[in-house]
Chains A and B, each alone.
Chain A
Amino acid sequence: SQTIHQWPATLVQPVGSPLSLECTVEGTSNPNLYWYRQAAGRGLQLLFYSVGIGQISSEVPQNLSASRPQDRQFILSSKKLLLSDSGFYLCAWSPIRSGGLDTQYFGPGTRLTVL
């Protein structure tokens, strides 16, 4: 069966510091990968998605970036955090199937607080 991991689970960082959040998927190959952010009391906002190694698409312009160095690894980064980057970050994966529509499965999330 497939599992998705995220770490760290919780992170408190000062404004202006760098960020690296990691997501890995087990039990599948060549998944689509996604990064979402959930602000307090809101739904999810898609930040980035990737259909393969080195292929990243951005949905929302911001000071965050994403990378996919390996097939099942997805990293969310920032060089300098802003207060507005605080939130709950969720990674998700979906299988690549003919037609493309399929379920996205979410990881446990990372709670980021920028002070």
Chain B
Amino acid sequence: AQTVTQSQPEMSVQEAETVTLSCTYDTSENNYYLFWYKQPPSRQMILVIRQEAYKQQNATENRFSVNFQKAAKSFSLKISDSQLGDTAMYFCAFMQNSGGSNYKLTFGKGTLLTVNP
């Protein structure tokens, strides 16, 4: 079974500084996607960034970037210039074909990030 591990239950960072959230995953497949989702206090799950496994270049979205190490099965999220609005639970997620038409998202347990003023 595919697993996603986020080893940091909680983290904190000062406003304007940089923080990195860790994620590792386990799969024997070669074709898959990786995601970081953000869940603020409203609890809506918001996509932060997506990485396709076949792409060697790390994905970036404004202040958010990833360090994708395919051989090590590692997928970390770096948040630059942290803002108070970045305070949220961050989930790492993994998607591959689970059979037929099912493309299942498997989530880690999350990292609660607090940005302090």
Bound Cα distance from A92 to B47, whole angstroms = 12
Q: Is the CB of B109 within 8 A of A44?
A: no
Among A18-26, A72-80, A106-114, the stretch in contact with B: A106-114
Interface residues of A (CB under 8 A from B): 32, 34, 38, 42-44, 46, 49, 51, 57, 59, 88, 90, 92, 94, 99-109, 111
Residues of A within 8 A of B104 (CB): 46, 49, 59
Interface 0/1 of B74-117, CB less than 8 Å to A: 00000000000000000100011100011111011110000000
Residues of B within 8 A of A42 (CB): 109-110
Residues of B within 8 A of A109 (CB): 43-45
Residues of A within 8 A of B43 (CB): 38, 88, 108-109, 111
Q: How large is the interface on B (under 10, 10 to 19, 20 to 34, 35 or more residues)?
A: 20 to 34
Task: List the A residue with the shortest CB-CB distance to B31.
Answer: A101
Chain B interface helix/strand/loop/mixed: strand
Residues of B within 8 A of A105 (CB): 47
Task: List the A residue with the shortest CB-CB distance to B52.
Answer: A101
Interface residues of B in 8-63 (CB under 8 A from A): 31-33, 35, 37, 42-47, 50, 52
Q: Is the CB of B44 within 8 A of A43?
A: no
Q: Is the CB of A100 within 8 A of B105?
A: no
Residues of B within 8 A of A88 (CB): 43
Which of B33, B105, B109, B110 gathers the greatest number of chain A CB atoms within 10 Å? B105
Bound Cα distance from A79 to B115, whole angstroms = 43
Q: Is the CB of A43 within 8 A of B110?
A: yes
Within 8 Å by CB of B91, from A43, A57, A102, lies A43
Q: Is the CB of B44 within 8 A of A108?
A: yes
Q: Is the CB of A43 within 8 A of B108?
A: yes
Bound Cα distance from A51 to B42, whole angstroms = 28
Q: A43-B110, A108-B42 are in contact. Are A100 and B101 (CB under 8 A)?
A: yes
Q: Is the CB of A43 within 8 A of B107?
A: yes
Residues of B within 8 A of A43 (CB): 91, 107-110
Bound Cα distance from A111 to B91, whole angstroms = 19
Residues of A within 8 A of B50 (CB): 103
Q: Is the CB of B32 within 8 A of A44?
A: no
